[in-house]
């Protein structure tokens, strides 16, 4: 009973913080808002730690909080499932969220929407916790949409910026496309399993392994394949898999803390978590797993390419997030769910670190985000420099760092997998290693090393689109409680002669605290999480059909041995090659990239246009929808229905009215004549009948 109250406390504490910061955002001073939000999330984190220890002691929980509604023989409930998978997510979410909350105190210091921002991120934490703690599909969907809402609100946080309010709508709508598949998948689960409760559904999964349904014509489809692919379409939206990835790069319009929290560490991994949670269903359908692994490898490879040509510091990290989400998806497709969750966890730490580091650089650079205007920042921002280096090393998979263990395990798992598509996936993840190392260190070298390019007039770089952070300032009439006037240093970019500066402790402390797990969590976690009994029954693997994890265990001889062995593998050398090449290109011979860019101009154009996904969507989908709407409205409603049918009826009535008016002439003799005529007609009718 005590534990159950604690479960409830985890999501409700951030919600309470969000309500204080949000509903009273005009009333309370800033310190109340951030204290309430931070306290809420801190309580959730501490409670999660306690629950973690309890779960590790073997106490899992699956129960209902309240019955949402019943209808017919179906009952929808709000409830919690507390098992190792849930508690892992709870820890990741609350820890990263707490770091981001603290960081925000510094990052949003001058923003008039300070209180509102805290309310949103605390609300996000609540929603994300509801998502991961759910014990049924309905609540999962609730959390799923709620995090989408908060993401929408936060991308559009600076609501006077046209790019931001376009990006947030785009994010919401693209996610809705995924949700369209997701809700149909949930519908199929309910229709065939008769319940939306995880435990009930998973228990029955075996019985449905060979059930087919008739979806189209006479062809029979495996129920589980269709269901799992539809559920995965939802994951493609939330976890930004090709072709539903288009919203994530644009989401960088939001303030940097939420890029770290929502669009890197937690929300975008909801799809990965969901598939891992549904492992008892996905394990029974190779078709769906194959679909998953192919989509994942396309994302991992092709989104990496785009990272190479980005010049906005946040966008580089965003494309690396897309690529890493592809890695996790590949792991899911290879039936290595625990590896996917492991990579999700390590990625949450080092990617949040990289984003917050990027944010720290942005503060230091006075809101210039163009890496071509940076260089040599290590002298001025030592903590940011070192922590970003740790993050980058973790990201590219340097042995002993967190990312190494998780990424290397993914690559090994894919190698062992026999799912159709795993061959391509293996190529994609191997190539991805090189690309990741290349663009990560391209950014690292351009920002922290080399020539100091800031403080110069750099109009020629045209960093107009994405970095007008101060635009909202002048126009924000709303004004929180202690709205201060626009501070003098809040223009974008450094003035000539100005130097970057290290950020205050509230910004650097989270960097340091995130750097620690980015180094050690892989070493500590790999043995229990991948090869021990850490996840227990939370993840199901059909060992006979997909023996990947079992075989992987054979090759594993401890975390130290794994790291030492790495230097003998091509993975290590690929990563090293990427780093060396970027060093050579961007520090040693900066003239070469320009030449290459010129030489491969057509390819470069394709990359610059992000494979034309946005153009296609804008012209065909958005434009097509508007055209269709116009056509149906003007043609259907106004033309046919109103014009011909209603208009015809109106003309008919009009004609009758004209006739009637003819009789109401106002002349007595007309009326008299009509009366006499009427009497005659009635009389003759009566006489003839008789």
Partner 1 sequence: MSGMPLLSLAIWVPIFAGVAVLLTGADRNAPLARMLALAGAVAGLLVTLPLYTGFDLTTPQMQFVELVSWIPRFNINYHLGVDGISMLFVILNSFITVIVVLGGWKVIENKVAQYNAGFLIMSGLLNGIFVSLDAMLFYVFFEASLIPLYLIIGVWGGPNRVYAAFKFFLFTLMGSLLFLVSLIYLFVQSGGSFSILDWHQLPLAAGQQRWIFLAFLVAFAVKVPMWPVHTWLPDAHVEAPTGGSIVLAAIALKLGAYGFLRFSLPIAPDASHELAGLIITLSLIAVVYIGFVALVQDDMKKLVAYSSIAHMGFVTLGFFMFSALGIEGALVQMISHGFVSGAMFFSIGVMYDRVHSRKIADYGGVVNTMPKFAAFFMLFSMANAGLPATSGFVGEFMVIMGAVKFNFWVAAIAATTMIVGAAYTLWMYKRVVFGDVGNHHVAELTDITPREFLVLSLLAAGALGMGLYPAPFTDIMHSSVEELLRHVAASKIL
Please tell me whether residue 72 binds partner 1 under the rule CB under 8 A: yes
Please tell me whether residue 28 binds partner 1 under the rule CB under 8 A: no
Q: Supply the DSSP symbol for 540.
A: -
Give CA–CA dist 315/319, Å, rounded. 6
Q: Does the N-terminal peptide bond of residue 243 adopt cis geometry, omega within 30 degrees of 0?
A: yes
Q: How far is the CB of 251 from partner 1 (least distance, A)?
A: 15
Per CB under 8 A, contacts with partner 1 among 499-538 are none
Residue in 567, 594, 632, 681 binding partner 1, rule: CB under 8 A: 632
Quote the crossing angle between the two packed helices 337-364 and 313-333, to the nearest 10°. Answer: 180
From the CB of residue 359, how many other CB atoms can be counted at a distance below 10 Å?
29
Q: How far is the CB of 27 from partner 1 (least distance, A)?
A: 12
If residue 212 lies in a helix (H) or strand (E), which one and from where to where?
Answer: strand 212-216
Give CA–CA dist 96/12, Å, rounded. 18
Residue in 27, 594, 619, 650 binding partner 1, rule: CB under 8 A: 650
Give CA–CA dist 433/75, Å, rounded. 47
Q: How far is the CB of 499 from partner 1 (least distance, A)?
A: 33
Please tell me whether residue 651 binds partner 1 under the rule CB under 8 A: no
Q: Quick one: how far is CA 492 from the chain centroid?
A: 28
Please tell me whether residue 169 binds partner 1 under the rule CB under 8 A: yes
Our CB check for partner 1 shows the closer of 475 and 550 to be 475
Interface stretch with partner 1, choices 149-157, 245-253, 331-339, 363-371 (CB under 8 A): 149-157
Q: How far is the CB of 79 from partner 1 (least distance, A)?
A: 14
Maximum distance among all alpha carbons in the chain?
118
Please tell me whether residue 686 binds partner 1 under the rule CB under 8 A: no
Percent of the chain as helix, strand, coil, to the nearest 5: 75, 5, 20
Residue in 36, 98, 138, 201 binding partner 1, rule: CB under 8 A: 138
Cβ-contact 382, 503 below 8 angstroms: no
Q: How far is the CB of 72 from partner 1 (least distance, A)?
A: 3
Please tell me whether residue 188 binds partner 1 under the rule CB under 8 A: yes
Which tokens hold the place of 676? Answer: 């006499």
Which tokens hold the place of 418? Answer: 């026999």
Give CA–CA dist 101/118, Å, rounded. 7
Q: How far is the CB of 489 from partner 1 (least distance, A)?
A: 23
Please tell me whether residue 655 binds partner 1 under the rule CB under 8 A: no
Integer CA distances (angstroms), 219 to 184, 193, 216, in order = 19, 22, 6
Interface stretch with partner 1, choices 150-158, 243-251, 311-319, 440-448 (CB under 8 A): 150-158
Please tell me whether residue 177 binds partner 1 under the rule CB under 8 A: yes
Please tell me whether residue 124 binds partner 1 under the rule CB under 8 A: no
Cβ-contact 157, 258 below 8 angstroms: yes
Q: How many residues bind partner 1 (CB under 8 A)?
A: 60
If residue 66 lies in a helix (H) or strand (E), which one and from where to where?
Answer: strand 61-71
Residue in 27, 56, 70, 584 binding partner 1, rule: CB under 8 A: 70
Q: How far is the CB of 645 from partner 1 (least distance, A)?
A: 8
Give CA–CA dist 109/114, Å, rounded. 7
Residue in 554, 555, 630, 670 binding partner 1, rule: CB under 8 A: 630
Our CB check for partner 1 shows the closer of 250 and 408 to be 250
3-class SS at 398? coil
The pattern of x and - marking residues 273 through 312 that bind partner 1 according to CB under 8 A reads ----------------------------------------
Strand partners, 213: 221
| Rg, the chain, Cα only | 30
Interface stretch with partner 1, choices 187-195, 241-249, 334-342, 659-667 (CB under 8 A): 187-195
Give CA–CA dist 84/347, Å, rounded. 18
Residue in 16, 107, 172, 572 binding partner 1, rule: CB under 8 A: 172
Query: Which residue carries 């990563």 as its tokens?
Result: 575
Please tell me whether residue 176 binds partner 1 under the rule CB under 8 A: yes
Please tell me whether residue 184 binds partner 1 under the rule CB under 8 A: yes
Q: Quick one: how far is CA 212 from the chain centroid?
A: 32
Give CA–CA dist 457/528, Å, rounded. 54
| Burial class of residue 589, CB neighbours in 10 A (0-12, 13-18, 19+) | exposed
Cβ-contact 247, 148 below 8 angstroms: no
Give CA–CA dist 234/147, Å, rounded. 13
Please tell me whether residue 162 binds partner 1 under the rule CB under 8 A: yes
Interface stretch with partner 1, choices 172-180, 248-256, 281-289, 508-516 (CB under 8 A): 172-180
Our CB check for partner 1 shows the closer of 146 and 545 to be 146
Q: How far is the CB of 551 from partner 1 (least distance, A)?
A: 38
Residue in 149, 308, 430, 576 binding partner 1, rule: CB under 8 A: 149
Give CA–CA dist 233/186, Å, rounded. 12
Give CA–CA dist 493/505, Å, rounded. 22
Our CB check for partner 1 shows the closer of 646 and 681 to be 646
Q: How far is the CB of 287 from partner 1 (least distance, A)?
A: 17
Q: How far is the CB of 671 from partner 1 (least distance, A)?
A: 27
Residue in 1, 2, 57, 66 binding partner 1, rule: CB under 8 A: 66
Our CB check for partner 1 shows the closer of 145 and 312 to be 145
Q: How far is the CB of 193 from partner 1 (least distance, A)?
A: 11
The pattern of x and - marking residues 209 through 248 that bind partner 1 according to CB under 8 A reads ----x-x---------------------------------
Q: How far is the CB of 630 from partner 1 (least distance, A)?
A: 5
If residue 161 lies in a helix (H) or strand (E), which one and from where to where?
Answer: none
| Burial class of residue 77, CB neighbours in 10 A (0-12, 13-18, 19+) | buried
Give CA–CA dist 495/485, Å, rounded. 20
Per CB under 8 A, contacts with partner 1 among 448-507 are 475-478
Residues that bind partner 1 (CB under 8 A): 26, 66-74, 138, 141-142, 145-146, 149, 152-153, 156, 159-160, 162, 165-166, 169, 172-173, 176-177, 179-180, 183-184, 186-188, 190-191, 213, 215, 475-478, 625-626, 628-630, 632-633, 636-637, 641-642, 645-646, 649-650, 653
């Amino acid at each position: 009973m005590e534990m159950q109250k604690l479960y409830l406390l985890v999501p409700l504490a951030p919600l309470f913080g969000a309500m204080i910061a949000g509903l009273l955002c005009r009333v309370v001073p800033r310190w109340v808002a951030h204290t309430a939000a931070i306290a809420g999330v801190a309580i959730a984190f501490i409670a999660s730690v306690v629950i973690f220890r309890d779960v590790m002691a073997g106490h899992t929980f699956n129960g209902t909080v309240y019955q949402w509604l019943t209808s017919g023989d179906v009952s929808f409930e709000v409830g919690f499932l507390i098992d190792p998978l849930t508690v892992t997510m709870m820890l990741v979410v609350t820890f990263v969220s707490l770091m981001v909350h603290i960081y925000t105190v510094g990052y949003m210091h001058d923003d008039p929407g300070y209180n509102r921002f805290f309310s949103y991120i605390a609300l996000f934490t609540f929603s994300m916790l509801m998502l991961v703690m759910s014990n049924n599909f309905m609540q999962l969907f609730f959390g799923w949409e709620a995090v989408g809402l908060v993401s929408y609100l936060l991308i559009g946080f600076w609501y006077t910026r046209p790019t931001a309010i376009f990006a947030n709508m785009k994010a919401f709508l693209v996610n809705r496309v995924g949700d369209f598949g997701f809700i149909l998948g949930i519908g199929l689960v309910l229709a065939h399993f008769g319940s939306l409760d995880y435990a009930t559904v998973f228990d029955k999964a075996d019985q449905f392994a060979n059930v087919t349904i008739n979806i189209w014509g006479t062809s029979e489809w495996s129920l589980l394949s269709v269901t799992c692919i539809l559920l995965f379409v939802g994951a493609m939206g939330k976890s930004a898999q090709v072709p539903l990835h288009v919203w994530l790069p644009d989401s960088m319009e939001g303030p940097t803390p939420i890029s770290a929290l929502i669009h890197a560490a937690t929300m975008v991994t909801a799809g990965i978590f969901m598939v891992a949670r549904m492992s008892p269903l996905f394990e029974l359908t190779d078709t769906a797993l194959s679909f998953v692994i192919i989509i994942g490898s396309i994302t991992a490879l092709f989104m990496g390419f785009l990272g190479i040509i980005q010049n906005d510091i946040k966008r580089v990290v965003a494309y690396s997030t897309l690529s890493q989400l592809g890695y996790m998806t590949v792991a899911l497709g290879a039936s290595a769910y625990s590896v996917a969750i492991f990579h999700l966890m390590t990625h949450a730490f080092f990617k949040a670190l990289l984003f917050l580091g990027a944010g720290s650089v942005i503060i230091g650079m006075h809101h210039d985000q163009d890496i071509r205007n940076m260089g040599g920042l290590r002298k001025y921002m030592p903590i940011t420099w070192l922590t970003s280096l740790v993050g980058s090393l973790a990201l590219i998979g340097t042995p002993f760092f967190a990312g190494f263990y998780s990424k290397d395990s993914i690559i090994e798992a894919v190698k062992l997998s026999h799912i159709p598509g795993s061959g391509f996936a293996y190529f994609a993840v191997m190539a991805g290693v090189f690309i990741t190392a290349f663009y990560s260190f391209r950014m690292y070298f351009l920002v922290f090393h080399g020539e100091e390019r800031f403080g110069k007039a750099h109009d020629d770089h045209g960093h107009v689109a994405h970095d007008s952070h101060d635009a909202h300032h002048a126009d924000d009439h709303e004004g929180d409680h202690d709205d201060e006037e626009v501070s003098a240093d809040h223009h974008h970019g450094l003035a000539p002669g100005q130097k970057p500066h290290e950020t205050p402790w509230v910004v650097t402390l989270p960097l340091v605290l995130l750097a620690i797990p980015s180094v050690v969590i892989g070493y500590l976690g790999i043995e229990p999480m991948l090869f021990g009994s850490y996840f227990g029954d939370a993840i199901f693997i059909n060992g006979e059909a997909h023996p990947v994890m079992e075989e992987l265990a054979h090759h594993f001889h401890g975390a130290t041995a794994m790291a030492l062995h790495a230097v003998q593998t091509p993975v290590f050398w690929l990563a090293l090659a990427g780093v060396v090449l970027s060093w050579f290109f961007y520090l040693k011979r900066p003239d070469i990239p320009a030449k290459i860019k010129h030489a491969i101009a057509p390819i470069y154009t394709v990359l610059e246009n992000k494979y034309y996904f946005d153009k296609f969507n804008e012209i065909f989908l958005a434009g097509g929808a508007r055209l269709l709407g116009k056509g149906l409205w003007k043609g259907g409603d106004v033309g046919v229905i109103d014009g011909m049918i209603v208009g015809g009826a109106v003309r008919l009535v009009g004609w009758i009215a004209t006739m009637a008016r003819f009789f109401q002439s106002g002349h007595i003799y007309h009326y008299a004549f009509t009366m006499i005529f009427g009497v005659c007609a009635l009389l003759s009718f009566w006489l003839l009948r008789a």
